[in-house]
Structure 1
Amino acid sequence: MTNTDVSHTNRQTLVRAARELSDSVDLLSFADPVTHVYNPLSYARKSHEAYLGWVGEDVKVVLLGMNPGPWGMAQTGVPFGEVAAVRDWLQIDQPVDKPPIEHEKRPVEGFQCQRSEVSGRRLWGLFRDQFETPDAFFENHFVLNYCPLVFMESSARNRTPDKLPAEEREKLTAVCDAHLLTVIRTLDPDHLVGVGVYAEACLKRVVQIEGCRATVTRILHPSPASPASNNDWAGKVTKQLKSAGVW
């Protein structure tokens, strides 16, 4: 099998897995204080699958985030998908539909969204500065989120998956773990990098299930909510990746 064939097969597997994940999470229900749930794998499927088209044939590093941000993947369907980074660097600009029930304070405007997600700008900005081109980055790297859903309360406040009630969280975890296992088996990377503590914990749990050969490490989350991230985040993360032998 040629490298092109491997890349094509990997893409087909990831597309199928993403569709299965999307269908599975749509069957779950979430109670108050969650009032709105967005699934960008569904309404932004075209751009998400365009993103999956970047997957290379020799992925050595998989970076995992927690779940979409309201101004990132919720708009573009791409993990950490800050609009400008996705459109201008990844060259993805696909039509994005609307979630079935939209919160008036968190409208989905797709690539017309004027808000910029800081986490995505920092993450993809680092990769752009280090690798210059998407081809060079995706040759050995891939980025995904553990959970594809955005959870919001009536006030439009974001609610992260770790804050869900135990019963809801367990059902969501079962579905997301299964998807993550599929990705790891498909790409067989050397390194699994959790973007933040939550993602690292998810990777460690799934690796124990799978007996995966990849090493698990963590980098500082790029969110501006973390004080440590607001002072040379890129420099700190570059040092972390080099120290862990990822770069």
Structure 2
Amino acid sequence: MTHPLVEAAAQLRDAVDALHFSAPVTHVYNPLDYAWAPHRAYLERYGSGKKRVVLLGMNPGPFGMVQTGVPFGEVEMVRRWMGIEAEVSRPRDESPKRPIEGFACARSEVSGRRLWGLFADRFGVADVFFAEHFVANYCPLAFLDGGRNVTPDKLSAAETRPLFEACDAHLRRLVEALEPDWVVGVGAWAQKRAEAVVGDLPLKIGRVLHPSPASPAANRGWAEAATRQFLEQGIWLG
């Protein structure tokens, strides 16, 4: 029988593959396509059973999920802590300024290193963290303007409408499969999408500071700030 999250991700992959985007977007990367093998391994290994907490990011970063197929997928954390490494091919239209190197990528994604580093420090081994937690991205696509990252909130309304329809349907399926007590937005934008999509379900919606190096607050000690937010909201205890 097909894993429910794998089936949902395959449907999302195919739905967003059919979409088209205009300037300033020059390239669109869909890691659910070219990095399907590690993404599927992540879902099958860590996405089974009920989860107490689902953390929701916005979309892939250029040196994280874009390379590894895993949300916030900093290469070394995925390889060493999660024990996942699989073949990554190339997107159909690759920007020379943002090559896909897969697990050979030598760049470390700061957001992913901070996020997974906190969980590794607090929970020790990956299996302990994933027993009650799961991390997903709302949108699976990365958008580039040449070599610059374009976040989904910067797209036109005409282009976000079909994109959000596909992503909303996937998020709903994911949450219904995992039955979490909490959906926690990593950043305000993800929190708002969670409220819009699953706010009617019997769960709580929270938020933690995004670990991006573009955030001055995150650069002043993201792990400490995020831990405090997890504790204050009652997502984590003690």
Give the TM-score band, short-chain normalised: over 0.9
CA distance in 2: counterparts of 1:136 and 1:204, whole angstroms: 28
Which stretch of the first structure deviates more once superposed, 53-62 or 221-230?
53-62
Divergent runs of 4+, >3 A = none
CA distance in 2: counterparts of 1:144 and 1:58, whole angstroms: 15
CA distance in 1: counterparts of 2:72 and 2:95, whole angstroms: 20
Identity of aligned residues (%): 55
CA distance in 1: counterparts of 2:213 and 2:55, whole angstroms: 19
Match of 1:165 among 156, 169, 190: 156
CA distance in 1: counterparts of 2:40 and 2:220, whole angstroms: 34
Matches within 5 A, 1:66-85: 66-85=58-77
State the partner residue of 1:217.
Answer: 206
Match of 1:26 among 12, 17, 20: 17
Superposed CA deviations along residues 82-136 of structure 1, whole A, max 9, x for unmatched, are 0000001001110100000100010000000000000000000000001001110
TM-score (norm 2): 0.97
CA distance in 2: counterparts of 1:216 and 1:58, whole angstroms: 17
CA distance in 2: counterparts of 1:117 and 1:207, whole angstroms: 29
Q: Which runs of 5+ in 2 are unaligned?
A: none
Matches within 5 A, 1:1-247: 12-53=3-44, 54-154=46-146, 156-208=147-199, 211-247=200-236
Q: State the SS of the aligned residue for 2:150.
A: coil
Instruction: Look up the equivalent residue of 2:35 and give its one-letter code.
Output: A
Q: State the SS of the aligned residue for 1:217.
A: strand
Q: CA RMSD in A?
A: 1.0
TM-score (norm 1): 0.94
2:182–2:235 CA contact under 8 A, matched in 1: yes
2:71–2:135 CA contact under 8 A, matched in 1: yes
CA distance in 2: counterparts of 1:44 and 1:96, whole angstroms: 5
In the TM superposition, residue 56 of structure 1 has moved relative to its aligned partner by: 3.9
In the TM superposition, residue 245 of structure 1 has moved relative to its aligned partner by: 0.8
Number of positions where the alignment pairs a residue of Structure 1 with one of Structure 2? 235
